[in-house]
Amino acid sequence: MSTGAKVGARVLGVSECINAPIRAPVSTAPRLELSSGSLEALKWLALLLMTLDHVNKHLLHASVPELFAAGRLALPLFGFVLGYNLARPGALASGSYSRTARRLTIFGSIATIPFIGLGGLGWGWWPFNIMATLLVATLCAWLIEVGGPARLVAAAAVFIVGGALVEFWWPGLAVCVMAWAYCRRPSWLRLALWIGALASLYVINRNLWALAALPLIFAAGQVRLNLPRGRLGFYIYYSTHLALLWVLAKLA
């Protein structure tokens, strides 16, 4: 081969390397892909477990420890459903964050009346109910998604201040935010942080039953259920069941 041919081959080789498509590193962490029906089933399972836990607490005077243990799965499931929906492609552009925050604010405010009426809160009102926890987590996720140094600082401030005011405190917020982060961009590090957040609920629950939500979530990704989605069902049910428990507790 002539000198000119060798030079040409080298130039061609360099050009091919430069113009070759860049392949993104493949994450080995499993991506969660749930059907709409499976996601809805997880949400209603969480509502059922939460209801049983509340019945045990307010009507049975916490006399059934099995119901308390089952109720520890409710928040992790709620946090996952919230995070999965907010992590959908185009959620920011479609207004999903603001729409979710608005609904949580409205129905969370309504639920505050029976939530306080049921009693057992510090100073008669603290902490705010689970919808407030999901609201603060939504605001944190929105600020992180929009990005920028100022918004990241604001997200940290919302997390710190909000965590002191809502049910399940900072561990509960961490569970929701890490579920969103993992659904948005799966990695082994995010999975480890999600597991760590679930384990941190031990500080509040005094058990590790929250971790049992994780296998349920990953198992739900393996089945496709045909369950209709109710957009406001969760919000209406939460306020209604608290009001009903309040009435029953007064009659007991």
Given a cut of 50, whether residue 12 has pLDDT beyond it is no
Nearest partner of 185 among 20, 14, 55, 25, judged by Cα:
25
Q: What is the pLDDT of residues 120-135, one digit of tens each?
A: 999 999 999 999 999 9
Nearest partner of 141 among 187, 64, 85, 196, judged by Cα:
85
Burial 49-68 (b: 16+ CB within 10 A, else e): bbbbbbbbbbeeeeeeeebb
| pLDDT for 8 | 42
pTM equals 0.88
Give the residues across from 122 on adjacent strands. 126
Q: Is 72 exposed, middle or buried (0-12, 13-18, 19+ CB in 10 A)?
A: buried
DSSP 51: H
Q: What is the pLDDT of residues 60-109, one digit of tens each?
A: 999 999 999 999 999 999 999 999 999 999 999 999 999 999 999 999 99
Using alpha carbons only, what angle is made at residue 210 by residues 204 and 211, rounded to the nearest 5 degrees? 130
CA 37 to chain CA mean position, Å = 17
